[in-house]
């Protein structure tokens, strides 16, 4: 097989820790198998398979790895049938430590249970059992919180009025905890989310990802409309063009540029709320080309719809002060959910 320079480095590098990052389908398994074979067949310092620890995320991946190593050994033996070392490695392959991370950890615990002071008859719980345990912990936690009647908890409960609110809150806590576990540092992730909620409660929205995303999306949409409006202006000025539409098109161009020049919600809201779109002036069928007229009207009406329906009627519906109040209210609820998630994880 023809290896790239980067793959060769992974296969041949010795005597140091090695961290490899590669995309899916880039040949990681093949490279790792070749590295294992290279370690086994090293002419100066060969390593036996039972001295290696190879860990994977799934059982399927572990089996595939074991199968590929066995196939590679068989191919080497075919080329060198008298090599007793390779034959020995193939013989010990079934007991080689090629397994999932959890399997390796379980074996270590079983081997050193005395030092860990745990029951040697332990077993790993099934996911269904773990889910029941988590829900039981959450149920008891919710009962204690109701008894304590903490103000922040009661505010959270009020936002989930109706039947089964405890169950719905528990499900959200479970989902948030599960998502945190998918992060590199779960506890740090939850703390960072709490900090974000605190900023939202304090009205410090600038710099927050959702806030900046909304602003950039609106400004980018206006930027995409600008060349269309400028072309519509050119069409109005061409022979047969709908020149009565020129005033309305130019007004829309100024609106698009005004939106693009905004950098904060307050400025954007104030700018957009002042925008008005009076009816376009009449055109003359005998004087103005119908297709050109239709094109210009379509562009201008599309931009008008963007401003009046999407911005004024949806994204910029709330006044700046109301947006901060709404964000603060949601953040207060979210912060309590995060706090309860952390409590549940510590239980």
Tell me the fold of 5-114.
Rossmann fold (3.40.50)
In this prediction, residue 110 carries a pLDDT of 87
**Which among 33, 112, 102 has a CA at the least distance from the CA of 73?**
33
The encoded tokens of residue 276 equal 């008005």
The answer on pLDDT for 1 being more than 80 is: no
Tell me the CA distances in angstroms from 220 to 141, 190, 213, 308, one per residue in order.
46, 31, 10, 17
Each residue's pLDDT tens digit, 23-40 = 877 888 889 889 999 999
Planar angle of CA 206, 323, 304, nearest 5 degrees: 95
The answer on pLDDT for 168 being more than 90 is: no
Distance from the first to the final alpha carbon of the chain = 52
Each residue's pLDDT tens digit, 45-92 = 899 999 999 998 888 889 999 999 999 999 999 999 999 999 999 999
The answer on pLDDT for 191 being more than 90 is: yes
Band (pLDDT 50/70/90 cuts) for residue 298 is very high
Task: Give, for 56, the enclosing helix (H) or strand (E).
Answer: strand 53-56
Q: How many C-beta neighbours within 10 Å does residue 110 have?
A: 13
> CA–CA separation, 268 vs 276, rounded Å?
15
């Amino acid at each position: 097989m023809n290896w790239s320079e980067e793959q060769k480095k992974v296969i041949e590098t010795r005597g140091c820790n090695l961290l490899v990052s590669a995309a899916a389908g880039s040949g990681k398994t093949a490279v790792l198998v070749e590295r294992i074979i290279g370690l086994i067949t090293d002419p100066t310092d060969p390593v036996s398979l039972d001295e290696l620890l190879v860990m994977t995320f799934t059982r399927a991946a572990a089996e595939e790895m074991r199968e590929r190593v066995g196939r590679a050994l068989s191919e080497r033996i075919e080329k060198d049938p008298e090599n007793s070392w390779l034959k020995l490695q193939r013989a010990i392959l079934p007991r080689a430590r090629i397994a999932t991370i959890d399997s390796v950890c379980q074996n270590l615990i079983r081997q050193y249970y005395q030092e860990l002071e745990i029951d040697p008859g332990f077993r790993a719980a099934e996911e269904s059992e773990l889910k029941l345990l988590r829900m039981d912990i959450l149920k008891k936690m919710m009962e204690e919180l109701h008894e304590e009647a903490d103000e922040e908890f009661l505010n959270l409960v009020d936002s989930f009025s109706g039947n089964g609110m405890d169950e719905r809150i528990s499900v959200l806590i479970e989902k948030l905890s599960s998502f945190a576990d998918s992060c590199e540092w779960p506890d740090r992730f939850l703390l960072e989310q709490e900090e974000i909620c605190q900023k939202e409660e304090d009205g410090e929205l600038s710099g927050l990802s959702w806030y900046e995303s909304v602003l950039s999306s609106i400004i980018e949409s206006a930027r995409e409309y600008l060349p269309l409006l400028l072309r519509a202006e050119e069409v109005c000025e061409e022979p047969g063009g709908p020149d009565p539409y020129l005033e309305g098109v130019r007004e829309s161009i100024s609106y698009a540029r005004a939106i693009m020049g905004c950098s904060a919600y307050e400025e954007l809201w104030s700018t957009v709320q002042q925008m008005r779109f009076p009816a376009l002036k009449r055109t003359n069928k005998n004087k103005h080309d119908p297709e050109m007229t239709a094109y210009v009207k379509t562009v201008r009406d599309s931009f008008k719809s963007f401003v009046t329906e999407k911005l004024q009627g949806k994204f910029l519906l709330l006044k700046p002060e109301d947006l901060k109040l709404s964000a603060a209210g949601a953040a207060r609820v979210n912060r309590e959910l995060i706090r309860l998630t952390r409590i549940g994880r510590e239980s």
